[in-house]
Amino acid sequence: MQRSNVRFNASSKSAVQAFTPRLRLAMLASAMAFALLGASAAMAQTAAAPAKAGEQKAYVPDVGQEGKDVIWVPTPQSLVDKMLDMAKVTPKDRLMDLGSGDGRTVITAAQRGLTAQGIEYNPDLVELSRQNAKRAGVADRATFVAQDLFTTDLSQADVITMFLLSTINEKLRPKLLELPAGTRVVSNTFRMGDWEPDASETVTENCQTYCTALLWIVPAKVQGKWDLGGQTLQLDQHYQVLSGKLGSVPISDARLDGTSITFTADGVRYAGVVNGRTMSGTAAGKGNWQAKRS
């Protein structure tokens, strides 16, 4: 059965302290419950397929097993599907799963037509994932590498999925924020510090614990002064949330959705798209507008 995993950075003191006996118990209870539910019979049959004559017996990971920086805990298929749905994936997208376990998320993405790659430290899980991708008929689109997620180049991904502790997410956050605006990041349950998610949804069927998908969309960088039709647009940015002034008038309801920007000034609603050092769009009742960095 394909599963995603939770990874722990043993070199991070805060992450180790966060890994309490209570958390371990909850995670193992979740894993046992998931195993009993059998969220995806088809995937289970694929992973459990008997070896053919002459084939080496497949590696079978133990739920809750520890490795370097890793605790392996399964993610229900229903939540994997929800995470991909929230990211609005299309066959044109390139997906990267950080801590890919035995490949469930990557294989599911590949079955939807995406090119997907799993990053997993445990080489045995990597090999198992490759075999599972072959059995699922998606080995041409689902690939796996044995690598440390902190040293991985994420720049080619349109969508990043993960099931990591909040401490690990926060350590990754600066790297994620440098990705192209519009990149979608989806996490199972664990948050990103003070970077609030753009959306959150909870699965209630075939899932008992760790059932919430959180979506972030990497925002464009707009902090600073812009010239909008001869007026100064001052923007202060806290991730996707904006504040500031247009001339002497404070703006409100201002935020970014990737490269899309919206704000209200003096009762007028502005909507536009950021393109590097320019942005343009429409203002309700006033027609088109354009702004350039001062």
Average pLDDT over residues 97-109: 94
Contact 176, 154 (CB under 8 A): yes
CB-based contact 82:60 (threshold 8 Å):
no
Kind and range of the H or E element at 249? strand 249-257
Give the full edge-to-edge strand order of the sheet including 142-146. Answer: 142-146, 115-120, 94-98, 159-162, 184-188, 212-217, 199-202
Residue range 192-212, pLDDT digits in tens: 999 999 999 999 988 888 899
> What percent of the chain lies above the pLDDT cut of 70?
76
Average pLDDT over residues 206-231: 95
Kindly calculate the radius of gyration of the chain based on its CA atoms and give it in whole angstroms: 22
Question: Can you tell me whether residue 81 is helix, strand or coil?
Answer: helix
pLDDT the model gives residue 68: 46
Alpha-carbon span 262 to 285, nearest angstrom: 15
Average pLDDT, the chain: 84
* Separation CA 142–CA 116 (nearest Å): 5
Q: What is the pLDDT, as a whole number, of residue 284?
A: 96
In three-state form (DSSP H/G/I as H, E/B as E, the rest C), the secondary structure along 138-205 is: CCCCEEEEECCHHHCCCCCCCEEEECECHHHHHHHHHHHHCCCCCCEEEEECCCCCCCCCCEEEECCC
d(CA 254, CA 235): 9
Average pLDDT (257-273) is: 98
Phi and psi (nearest 5°) for 287? 85, -150
3 state DSSP class of 223: coil
Q: Bridge partners of 96?
A: 117, 160
Is 171 a residue whose pLDDT tops 50?
yes
- Note the pLDDT tens digit of each residue in 19-63: 444 444 445 444 444 443 333 333 434 444 444 555 556 667 655
pLDDT at 96: 98
Q: Which of 198, 2, 136 is nearest to 81 (CA)?
A: 2
> Is the pLDDT confidence value at 101 over 60?
yes
DSSP lists the bridge partners of residue 213 as: 188, 201
Please state, as a whole number, how many other Cβ atoms lie within 10 Å of the Cβ of residue 42: 9
Do 89 and 153 form a contact (C-beta atoms < 8 A)?
Answer: no
Distance of CA 261 to the CA centre of its chain: 22
Show Cβ contacts of residue 226 under 8 Å, excluding neighbours closer than 6 positions.
Answer: 232, 233, 234, 235, 279, 291, 292, 293, 294
Answer yes or no: is pLDDT of 7 > 70.
no
Q: Which helix (H) or strand (E) holds 14?
A: helix 13-18
> Does residue 95 surpass a pLDDT of 90?
yes
**pLDDT, mean of residues 181-200:** 97
